[in-house]
């Protein structure tokens, strides 16, 4: 699968899983979350420095690890987002 702007969230989630396997990055969800925490620290540093290019890259890394955590945990992020947004609409009314 090729990554491009036309992909849906489920397709991007599948792409990330494909790349994790090909790159030998499959690991327990706990390890994925630790990597995500590290990437979030790098996001904070990029924001603090005002480094837009690095921020772009670090946010992409975070997205990769969020999708990886979902894959490892067997969570369909589209379904999770739909459910959470329903709760948010009821809570916030918007």
pLDDT at 84 (0 to 100): 97
Domain containing residue 73: CATH number: 1.10.287.1080
* Structural domain count, the chain: 1
The alpha carbon torsion through 67, 30, 32, 14 (nearest 10 deg) reads -30
Domain span at residue 81 reads: 12-89
14 membership: H or E segment, kind and range: helix 9-22
Residues 73 and 94: their CA atoms lie apart, in Å, by 29
For the chain, which residues score pLDDT lower than 50? none
Instruction: Look up the pTM and report it.
Output: 0.91
pLDDT at 57 (0 to 100): 98
Residues 85 and 83: their CA atoms lie apart, in Å, by 6
């Amino acid at each position: 699968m090729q990554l491009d702007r036309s992909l849906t969230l489920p397709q991007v989630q599948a792409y990330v899983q494909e790349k994790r396997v090909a790159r030998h990055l499959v690991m327990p969800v706990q390890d994925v979350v630790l990597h995500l925490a590290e990437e979030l620290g790098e996001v904070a540093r990029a924001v603090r420095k005002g480094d837009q290019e690095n921020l772009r890259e670090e946010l992409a890394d975070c997205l990769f690890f969020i999708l990886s955590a979902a894959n490892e945990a067997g969570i369909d992020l589209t379904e999770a987002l739909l459910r959470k947004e329903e709760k948010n609409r009821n809570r916030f009314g918007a």
